[in-house]
Amino acid sequence: MVKSSVIALGGNAITREGEDGSITTQFRNTRTCLESVVKLIELGRNIVFVHGNGPQIGADLRRVEEARNVVPTIPLGVLVADSQGGMGYMIAQTLKNKLLERKIEKDVCTIITQVLCDENDPSLQNPTKFIGEFLTKQEAYEAENFKGWIVKEDPGRGYRRVVPSPKPLKIIESRVIELLIKNDVMVIAGGGGGIPVYYDANGKLEGIDGVVDKDLTASLLASQINAQELIFLTGVNKLFLNFRQENQKQLDVVTLSEAKKYLALGHFPKGSMGPKIEAAIKFLENGGERAIISSVENVKDGVFKDAGTKIIRD
């Protein structure tokens, strides 16, 4: 039986800190990211990609605000849909080209994905999702007082804009995604965490202005399509306790109960590894076989060898 893996790829891997964020640069980074991932497809994995959009959606929202006196504004939920299309195009084209280089005949498809959320989710009143570029303390003050942004400190990294981030409850298009996978199609879905929506009093879908965490969406999607594996690609190759402290400890294998304990003890902050560990826990509790945290470069060895950190059921 061919294994299905859901890969969560951060938007920061495509628009990196300190770069100009141009489409040319984003394409170059996408090609670099997928070079190692495509090796999993060569080795027989069915892959579903879920990408983040934190830097990209911040730039998109800023464009809208800067041009508000010239053209009509675009709601945040629709901007998420726009980023799904644009980033999905980059990933799909890059992946297709890399498959062609290896003479692998597979179709690739990007799905504009809606994610059901609670219209009364607490995050709508208390924004928590970091987006956009990093700011100095002075820039953060000016953004709050002159632009009306809500800004919070991203511990150890600087200040960033935050927007509402409701928790995902259901992937609306999960049956379509599963059908594509069963027909050997490589799928990009849930981009930017998906477009947050809710059912109104008449049972019809309506949009929510927010950005869903892509790791939580990846976990939910993996469970809904019965994927065996959930892979988080990050800037580090292993999980650590007491990260960047003198007593830091590398973790090669973590059980579900250990992951819960370490999360509760605060080893994995909300602004970095926290959402990934929370998503891994949910995936395993819903029947997934294992979650893997790995760097982009070492993803093949993270899956088939000893690189990366494996999170498994007890």
Give catalytic residues, as residue numbers.
11-12, 129, 214, 276
Three-class secondary structure assignment of the chain:
CCCEEEEEECHHHCCCCCCCCCHHHHHHHHHHHHHHHHHHHHCCCEEEEEECCHHHHHHHHHHHHHCCCCCCCCCHHHHHHHHHHHHHHHHHHHHHHHHHHCCCCCEEEECCCEEECCCCCHHHCCCCEEEEEEECHHHHHHHHHHCCCCEEEECCCEEEEEECCCCCCEECCHHHHHHHHHCCEEEECCHHHCEEEEECCCCCEEECCCCCCHHHHHHHHHHHCCCCEEEEEECCCCEEECCCCCCCEEECEEEHHHHHHHHHCCCCCCCCCHHHHHHHHHHHHCCCCEEEEEECCCHHHHHHCCCCEEEECC
